[in-house]
Structure 1
């Protein structure tokens, strides 16, 4: 088979890239190793319960124009994504259990109750300091980026909007802790900001770029903001991207495991398991992580500058707990999301310290049978792979460790639903080995952990002609907006500048 562009992997980055490449008029084929598209964001079903495999917190998807690159991708390919809106989430912290909301003011009420007027004043001052940074962070959409000389024009049209914020731009490249220092001294507020940074990047404030947090403040802490949950779960999001891909003539191949990227002076195609070869006239785009991409390349074809990316620091892995439960007489005030922190002193990145809980059937009852709820609890990017490495997944040792390491998630759930143990009808426990097996993730990692000020993300291009990359190894952040942006940037880099500019005009309408 011969096509213009081959995309390896159908994660959100790969699908975003492929769908926009197809929209630009290229013939594109996506090769997905698994039987279901979506990568870390795919959905799956057990006994009538529909689970999200990974991401569970969304914003900026229910309106356009939106600063969220994922919404921009959907707009570019002409796909809608019906969402339900909400603004409240639960916190189970060392200070106690309470609900909070997104928006400009409500968190100040929480601070006043927990910490007093001084903490409120510091939070207000932080909002004031971040406001110009937020405007600078959102002045240029990531979808305007491309990695060739055409970027001078694609980015240049946003220069008038950027000029008033030039003074703030340089601050965006450093760590967010540099913005906090001198403004925030209250221990709880500093811990809270560390937590938000960790959820964005997998790193505390000292390693998270100010740009990421400025973007988050612009999105979450503004008047009238709402969070979104796509009706049908993350699977509905994946379906929308696949529809857009196929609508524009692209093709998705499932159970198509790429064993090698063919290189002869340039990336020329891929070889699948079983020996079938697909050839690319224009480019091969890898949505696999940088570590997994390097494994696909012939060793004698890898330039030293690309081989050096093997040393890219990585986030730790996950523990997952997927439950289908009986919701009879369950508390009526359940929130869709909860954040559980056991001990601030240990730090938010410490293993077994932070647990996220998602109960999306509170918002979308179609995800569970009548009278039931679906639950996803996980330890986000803090489970060390080393304690699992080499284990036999069929061994008693593995079963015992699964049970022991899942206990922190059960404890978190008991704070929310005390009788959770007696309600379970479906119980699935995932480990870093599960992550590595089903998501084809190097060491089960959720992405790169390049600390702000200690390195730059390499972007879409590589030293091998015809080989591009997208996904969490190429753009700051480990969430859906970041990988969607990376896919769009790779697609733009392949497209003629005139088509890219036309797309940007459409997104501004």
Structure 2
């Protein structure tokens, strides 16, 4: 039955709207999927339950301060060519994001307060001072050994990934031959990074450092973090003249650029449009029904930018095999976050700070222990537009280490909830005191967020940081489903958690609805396949 024809007996009084492709959710993965699909000429509608797009990357304003809720570490957005898939998607849809570059960040570690420059030489200097020349030599040897793996990862244009025939249909000639030559190294990046690091590193600080970077990237220790993801990161961060980027306007500026790209190519976005059901007929996704009852039909299919757990309630129980449902439901989850948003009057001490600080309490507790790591970012040091004149804006969070069980039975607004929130978020106070001892004298506005806050605004299962598929037990699942024309994207599918992975997943989802020839033409236009 054609998706444009209602089932017998429905006979709606008004025609049901129809588009080529419906995207459920406007996180970065969903926006990349929608924008790329629109770039290929499909009529796309992105639906978002919240009042603004972006998912975890959305922002909000309070009292003249512009706060962000998600990513704080960005790279590869300010130059072209770039190996960052998000930069490639933006290029594909004719958009750019102005950035401020910076080359150092702060660490508050058991070893002391450090300021580390991005790149190999600045890090070696810190290691030499902290651990001596033998440790610096050990790190140099590790990076030299890792370099060919980083090169192999960088030679793989992730926007060329395609199900079925994989890269064969989108890459040929020089790029394809180069990748064939790297096949062995690429295969060795299919597992976890921990074994690779432990094979070459012995110094405790260096192993702790790798563990910290892995946890920041994936929400998991290095024993479970993807080797390919880390090879890509090391390839970017430890190049000569390496730098990090901050998108001016914060993560909302990236979201706005993707929305502009979507609309530039004829796509549309609707907010405050929660999806109640993905319509399935004869084993095929035919569209969606919104929570208010409106039906929107999809001629080509549906892309779901939802978590594995939040997808299941949207599907008819009899439309999917029990085994697949059970696998989705059993997806392991990272723990949640605490969030801290603060508006501050500027002080001389703040002007000397790097934009980011990462704090670790005790290496021996494990990098993923409760409240053992926190990240503080003060982006207004690079982008003054985020705060009123003479003020700074700060975002703190504890990545993937806050247990849901502490919050599950509490009622937001209750005295018990307020007490626990104040107790748990006091961690941020203690960390900031190490940088700005008198910070409380400068506070204008303070907001605290919990796993319940995260679940409320992002509609995510248990407020989780994301799925926790361990790389040592196989890759993240792909975007396929047992339902024809229903494709998944986002942090729950390959390549996993993080901005570059979700951009890849969105592009891959879009490319399932176009031919390999169309995909290759786009790659050639971007000079990713020549």
* Residues 313-355 of structure 1: CA deviation (Å, up to 9, x unaligned): 1111100000000104344311100000011001110110000
Q: 1:243 aligns with which of 241, 260, 279?
A: 260
The DSSP-based 3-state class of the residue aligned with 1:325 is strand
Helix, strand or coil: the match of 2:401? strand
Say which SS state the counterpart of residue 71 (structure 2) adopts: coil
Gaps of 5+ in 2: 1-16
Looking at structure 1, the residues matched to 164 and 34 of structure 2 have their Cα atoms a distance apart, in angstroms, of: 19
Is 1:320 the counterpart of 2:339 in the alignment? yes
The question of whether the paired residues in 2 share the 8 Å contact of 1:355 and 1:377 is answered with: yes
- Structure 2 distance, partners of 1:209, 1:329, is 41
Structure 2 residue aligned with 1:7: 23
Query: 1: CA distance between counterparts of 2:337 and 2:172?
Result: 41
SS in 2 for 1:382: coil
Q: Is the 8 A contact 2:191 2:474 kept in 1?
A: no
Report the Cα distance in structure 2 between the residues aligned to 1:452 and 1:329, rounded to whole angstroms: 45
Q: What is the deviation of 1:155?
A: 4.2
**What aligned pairs does 1:217-296 form with structure 2 within 5 A after superposition?**
217-264=234-281, 265-296=283-314
Contact 2:490 2:496 in 1 (8 A): no
Matched, 1:149 2:165: yes
Which residue is equivalent to 2:10? none
| SS of equivalent residue, structure 2 residue 91 | helix
d(CA) in 2 for partners of 1:26, 1:380: 37
TM-score by length of 2: 0.94
Q: Quote the residue 1:92 is aligned against.
A: 108
Q: Matched residue of 1:335: which SS?
A: coil
Aligned counterpart in structure 2 of residue 364 of structure 1, from 358, 362, 383:
383
Structure 1 residue 365: deviation in Å?
0.4
C-alpha deviations, 1:30-70, integer Å up to 9, x for none? Answer: 01000011000011111110011111110000011111000
TM-score relative to the length of structure 1: 0.98
Q: How does 1:45-444 map to 2 (within 5 A)?
A: 45-149=61-165, 151-156=167-172, 158-264=175-281, 265-307=283-325, 308-444=327-463
**Cα distance in structure 2, aligned partners of 1:103 and 1:118:** 19
Which structure 1 residue ranges, 5 or more long, are not aligned? Answer: none
Q: Is the 8 A contact 2:49 2:275 kept in 1?
A: yes
Residue 148 of structure 1 deviates from its aligned partner by 3.3
User: 1:474 is matched with which residue?
Assistant: 493
Tell me the equivalent position of 1:489: 508
By how many angstroms is 1:139 displaced?
1.5
* C-alpha separation in 2, matches of 1:455 and 1:169: 15
Residues 145 and 155 in structure 1, CA contact (< 8 A), matched pair in contact too: no
Aligned position for 1:501 = 520
Distance in 1 between the 2:241 and 2:368 partners?
31
CA distance, structure 2, for counterparts of residue 65 and residue 461 of structure 1: 30
Superimposed CA distance per residue, residues 348-377 of structure 1 (whole angstroms, 9 cap, x where no aligned partner) = 101100000110000000100000000000
Distance 1:149 1:329, change over 3 A: closer
Output the aligned Cα RMSD. Answer: 1.2
What is the aligned partner in structure 1 of residue 4 from structure 2? none
